[in-house]
A and B are shown apart, each in its own frame.
Chain A
């Protein structure tokens, strides 16, 4: 069914693009879940962002083409994710920054980095309160997950966390991450609803 002979931009096949697209929709969906606490996402869906970014990068003839430099960013999925992050930030946040930030700053804007620094965000929800609520929920659900989160906050690596938790492999930490992600999104969604 797939055109194995056809490639686009540095040998990307249809199979590659299908995997990349799933990665990007998952990432955009996750980001929109997080942003939803602070901003009205206006019903924009993850598919739109993923499709738009892929077209901008891979369609080298498009007017708003975003050039991928493999020597600077060898991992194209990471590059795509950076583009999605900046597209979502620009779309949802730029209105707040239009008078103060130039275009370069907008493109470099890292939402995660801005948490705790940016008054326009923290005036709605104190990041420390969110963190505390997340930790309390995790303790109620599963103390082991809360323990892992605390190790993470203390900047332990995945390998170190596996060792401290006496896990046989890092896989269990990753599995815990999936659970923490689901719980975090639930906590954030609840906060978002409380805001309304």
Chain B
């Protein structure tokens, strides 16, 4: 890099937030508006991410449900007890009156995935 390039790169850094904010103000930027824009971007990405996650969870739930329906006499409690953590298995063993649908809806995505793998074997 030549000298001018090095100078321009060096002065493009801001040592402190105060220095950066002063620069922004000098250049006519409204800090409050910038923060609102950033906040809106965050909300937009966050909402989209939650929506995608919910969509994926729904798909996993449906897939597990379909696979269970194909099994002749699926014992979901036994399956879950063998595949989940001890604590989780204990909780399920206490939930005798919970139907399969409700039991599936209590599972996290990771647990649903493990169950699907088990059912697909």
Where the two chains meet, the residues of A that have a C-beta atom closer than 8 Å to any C-beta of B are 2-3, 6, 8, 14, 17-23, 25-27, 29-31, 33-34, 46-47, 51, 54-55, 58-61, 110, 112-117, 127-128, 130-131, 134, 149, 152-153, 155, 171, 174, 177-178, 180-182, 184
Contact = CB atoms under 8 A, between A and B. Distances in A.
Contacts of B38: 14, 17-18, 20-22, 54
11 contacts: A17-B42, A30-B23, A54-B38, A59-B49, A61-B49, A115-B1, A115-B2, A127-B2, A153-B3, A177-B15, A178-B15
A160 to B, nearest CB: 14
A184 to B, nearest CB: 6
Contact of B41 (A2, A17, A61): A17
Given A112-B8, A112-B9, A184-B7, A54 B23 contact: no
A174 B16 contact: yes
Of A26, A113, A182, the most chain B CB neighbours within 10 A belong to A26
Of B23, B26, B29, B52, the most chain A CB neighbours within 10 A belong to B23
A174 B48 contact: no
Interface of B: 1-17, 19-24, 26-27, 29, 31, 34-35, 37-39, 41-42, 44-46, 48-49, 52
A26 B41 contact: no
Contacts of B16: 174
Given A26-B23, A114-B5, A178-B14, 14 more contacts: A18-B35, A20-B38, A21-B37, A22-B20, A26-B14, A55-B41, A58-B45, A112-B8, A115-B8, A116-B4, A127-B5, A171-B15, A181-B23, A184-B8
A184 B2 contact: no
Nearest to B13: A177
Contacts of B39: 2, 14, 17-18
Specify the main secondary structure of chain B where it touches its partner.
Answer: helix
Contacts of A61: 48-49, 52
Of A19, A174, A181, the most chain B CB neighbours within 10 A belong to A181
Given A25-B29, A25-B34, A31-B12, A19 B17 contact: yes
B7 A14 contact: no
B27 A29 contact: yes
Contact of B22 (A30, A47, A178): A178
Which A-B residue pairs are the 5 nearest by beta carbons?
Answer: A116-B2, A21-B38, A174-B15, A112-B5, A115-B5
